[in-house]
Structure 1
């Protein structure tokens, strides 16, 4: 492709290796923490697209849209692995499905009209707040002993869907936090949040394809804001690694799991804030 003509074989090899490594790490995190891997994929894709000189006006949108597309495959593999452990709350997923889809539609529509810096700020701010809650929150911190009624759960699901779609993540970032604050066991929260990824990623990716259709400055092999090259390199690695993470999640303690979740969120958030400040 002419787009890659200015890069040496070594640079392109590192590019491919970096995306494959990203897919493996994202798959592990998807299975381990119940997130769709977007917490890793979005910032890495953003920097890869920066390295390749993609227009800064579409860079973050491409990272978010491509991340959502990869989460489709990751979530399927991850939720199946958790289902075998009997940890997925399918009844909750059914209750949350419709309001979450509404939230995703709203979030995707908004994302199409804001610039990349706004998406980056949303990602960094929310990730930092959740990281501090997971790192410093106490076991006795509760919003309630059980989830609220249908109206309350509908609102929660809509907000999770909207913010997740704008951030390019699978919903586990919020789902794990909300469920544990309402007394759900961490392993059940992680397993069920893996299922949220499908509810968010499928309509979210479609929305970013539509929102980015015919937009100028997109790299080759892109359907709207979803880049097929990034998708093709990351998905096989995430599918391979997601079951490893799911098995590991059921083999380690709640404290270790929560700290791992907080660590990845904190690193990602700080990196994003740095990019905003440096830019």
Structure 2
């Protein structure tokens, strides 16, 4: 009995240690970025457009470019991803070969490097469809990249909905679609939102694919056909070309803040939906 208690304490200690290490790594990374970048954050840096030399100006156009690309990619990917998940879990039979093909496709897409998506987007959207380096090309490429995340998380969320809820709805005379729309999807919404949060993080932090599809223009994007530079691409250019490490860290700091704000708002929505 004493040996079992000692093993239990040891495993508990190891689990706590693992959790502390993960939190420590995150705190170290964020803390380093905050210390290096916060000193250069001011209103001019946020509101001014970046200069071509990179050593002056701010990041206003890259903020707008990031918002454009992220929101449009989510607008495309969320209906497709959630719709695919609903089809796979609510309508397709388990031995359906087409459903198996869709599952295999989603798993394969999840493992493809982002640079491959960028190359595909460059060849297909930029050149073949003649969309050029633009917000539309970048958003279409991003939407393909985040589809597997949305599909998988939506599937898991739908699976967790108790089967009794479906049976009760159907027994009361509701159709299959009414059950899915009014019972299953609302119950699975917290999990679906979690997938959207993960997708936003990947979209905001993507660099390689967007350089090849959205371009790297410093101008203010207005139309979907305009090229745009995101904050992550701007950070890459500043750091890799040695233009201004101070502005690179300041940009990284704002990216972290941007993602944290989105996560907070999404978690707030999750809590409200849960209650």
TM-score of the aligned structures, taking structure 1 as reference length: 0.31
Question: Whose radius of gyration is greater, 1 or 2?
Answer: 2
TM-score of the aligned structures, taking structure 2 as reference length: 0.31
